[in-house]
Structure 1
Amino acid sequence: CSMGSDDSYNFVFKVVLIGESGVGKSNLLSRFTKNEFAHDSRTTIGVEFSTRTVQLDNINIKAQIWDTAGLERYRAITSAYYRGAVGALLVYDISKHLTYESAERWLKELYDHADPHIVVMLVGNKSDLGNVRTVPTDEARDFAEKKGLMFMETSALDSTNVEVAFSEVLTAIHKKVASREVTRGSISAVTLSRPLGPNSEALEERKGCCKSS
């Protein structure tokens, strides 16, 4: 998929990144939206999101990717983080089995707060660390299949499959919307007639406002 111009798009899809601290969520975000990778893994506190407009099958989709930015350490992720999300990447580190074991708990939290039709991909990040792998690919793939999730191994460090993972999630979301499998309201994947402005809910959430809708 190619970079589209950021001001013309048919859909805005909110995608959240979830998973344990240190698995590389922030670097997946910066690799996909800015093609950057930060070697110093400082943890920022407070929700962040970045956007990128991609073209899939001649449709311009503005992906708004949200990152927990360190809050997962404090179990402080609020329902505002999940509100309106139509996709999620549940990330673990292939070299740290504990981060994979917590996937079940993250899934439960996701389904407690998010739309039941949300598209979820299990992502084994840091595939460049294959020599110290502790999570076998087949085991993770089987788990994903059992739970009805998509699956991909990525490396934010060397860019492997990052583009593909996000594109597949966005394509799956668009298919659900296009097939009317979900009503527009429930998955909130509406065609915005105007760009996200200062009055948009997303920016209010960013300011830490958590009014229930």
Structure 2
Amino acid sequence: MAEVKETERRLAFKFVMIGSHAVGKTNILLRFCDKNFNFNIKPTIGVDFKTKEVQFDGKFISAQIWDTAGQERFQKALTQKESAKENAIVMILGNKCDLEQTRQVSKEMGENFAKENNLLFLETSAKDGTNIQNAFQTMIAEVHNAFIQQKEDLQQEKEQEQQKQKQKQKHKVILKNSKKPKKKRRWC
């Protein structure tokens, strides 16, 4: 899931990684931010995060990646997406694609699940780096495009409201009393 904050010079995109225990969330974070992999990683307790500055579309973006402690099965992602903002973008990463012999979920199953639930999907390997950069570049592009679209929509709504106000002013009818009031006669 992702969230955007805009400052004058830099966009900050927040990514939250959720998933089962020991699926490689921390090593995905390490691979993307530090180009590193740790075989002896300790389980995350609570939440940890790293920030990486990336350049996209001529802008510097601060990618804040939050690493959460292991969750139940990936079905939980749907529940969290449903409770997230309506514009949340979710990508499922099928990590450890380098371990084909111990695969628990087929690529086809992951793709179908993502398609049925309107999610993005990529298979990755934090160990050898497969698709790690691609995953974050895709998410950054998706969030950036959604952010730009939202700004354009808000600008368009503002312009439409201004146009409505102008139309109301054009059609405003001012009634003037063209007849002079009759003078009342006074009797002494």
Instruction: Indicate the SS of the match to 2:53.
Output: strand
User: Where does residue 28 of structure 1 map in the other structure?
Assistant: 28
TM-score, L = length of structure 1: 0.64
Deviations 1:156-197 (A, max 9, x none): 00000000001100110000011127988xxxxxxxxxxxxx
C-alpha contact 1:13 1:64 (8 A) present in aligned 2? yes
TM-score, L = length of structure 2: 0.72
Q: Which residues of 2 match residues 152-171 of structure 1 at below 5 A?
A: 152-171=122-141
- Residue in structure 1 matching 2:77, options 82, 100, 106: 106
User: Where does residue 64 of structure 2 map in the other structure?
Assistant: 64
Task: Provide the C-alpha distance between the structure 2 equivalents of 1:59 and 1:168, rounded to a whole number of angstroms.
Answer: 16
Task: Provide the C-alpha distance between the structure 1 equivalents of 2:138 and 2:9, rounded to a whole number of angstroms.
Answer: 18
C-alpha contact 2:25 2:67 (8 A) present in aligned 1? yes
C-alpha contact 2:44 2:67 (8 A) present in aligned 1? no
User: Where does residue 148 of structure 2 map in the other structure?
Assistant: 178
Deviations 1:105-162 (A, max 9, x none): 23203422x2121111011000110122231111110110110001100000000000
Instruction: Please report the RMSD computed on the Cα atoms of aligned residues, expressed in angstroms.
Output: 2.1
Runs of 4+ in structure 1 off by over 6 angstroms are 181-184
User: Where does residue 17 of structure 2 map in the other structure?
Assistant: 17
Instruction: Indicate the SS of the match to 1:19.
Output: coil
Residue ranges of structure 1 left out of the alignment (5+ in a row): 1-7, 74-98, 185-213
C-alpha contact 1:120 1:150 (8 A) present in aligned 2? yes
Task: Provide the C-alpha distance between the structure 2 equivalents of 1:121 and 1:147, rounded to a whole number of angstroms.
Answer: 11
C-alpha contact 2:26 2:44 (8 A) present in aligned 1? no
Residue ranges of structure 2 left out of the alignment (5+ in a row): 1-7, 155-188
C-alpha contact 1:9 1:53 (8 A) present in aligned 2? no
Between the aligned residues of both structures, percent identity stands at 37
